[in-house]
Structure 1
């Protein structure tokens, strides 16, 4: 199971179109990983529906702070590797630091991810 970590809010000004573009970039990478035989996951795929259900009004509200990064952190604890994509992102960089601290493999390019077993 490989976590795709990339920017979500960084550089978007919380513009919904830019947020969606960031999610799409992560999903496109996840699809490539899936087609290569891996089980890809994103924190956004789990956190965004929870935020909607909880009644979040948008990025940065108290519900967002309660749910968004904690979901990704819990998910990362169960992943075999992390693929870091995209540009600057404090959240994605936190995921990489956590991955390294727990001894999880980290990749910076899709081409570097080993073949699925």
Structure 2
């Protein structure tokens, strides 16, 4: 299965770079486990963060308006990605964005897993 790993990115971090990295690492750790189990894991962060950085570099967003470019790309790319996934694995703590991915998955009839142990073998 192609599984979107959804968890907090900015939630509860105060945008502290170390805490943001820790959240990405948690999603990537889950993705490695899914991969080793034979699935195709994806994260919205892997696609969105480089695009956000590039959009800022190219001046496509107002200078200093990080949230404007973030809002333009971050959740929309995860939403588009989820359309092509079979399931969502929801990890971590509170996150409106991750909860939005879960709701979208359920609305689309996709599987939603709350832990790695719930994911069936590939």
Cα displacement (A) at 1:58 = 8.0
Deviation string for 1:37-91 (max 9, x for gaps)? 0000000000001011111778952111100000000000100000000011000
CA distance in 2, matches of 1:7, 1:59: 21
TM-score by structure 1 length? 0.95
1:1-117 to 2 correspondence within 5 Å? 1-55=2-56, 61-116=67-122
Structure 1 residue ranges (4+ consecutive) displaced by more than 4 angstroms after TM superposition: 56-60
* Aligned-partner SS, 1:28: helix
**58 and 40 in structure 1: CA distance in 2 versus 1, 3 angstrom threshold:** farther
CA distance in 2, matches of 1:53, 1:59: 14
TM-score by structure 2 length? 0.91
CA contact (8 A) 1:84 1:107 kept: yes
**Equivalenced residues, count:** 116
Bigger Rg, structure 1 or 2: 2
Mark the runs of 5 or more structure 2 residues left unpaired by the alignment: none
Mark the runs of 5 or more structure 1 residues left unpaired by the alignment: none
Q: RMSD over aligned Cα, in angstroms? A: 1.5
CA contact (8 A) 1:5 1:92 kept: yes
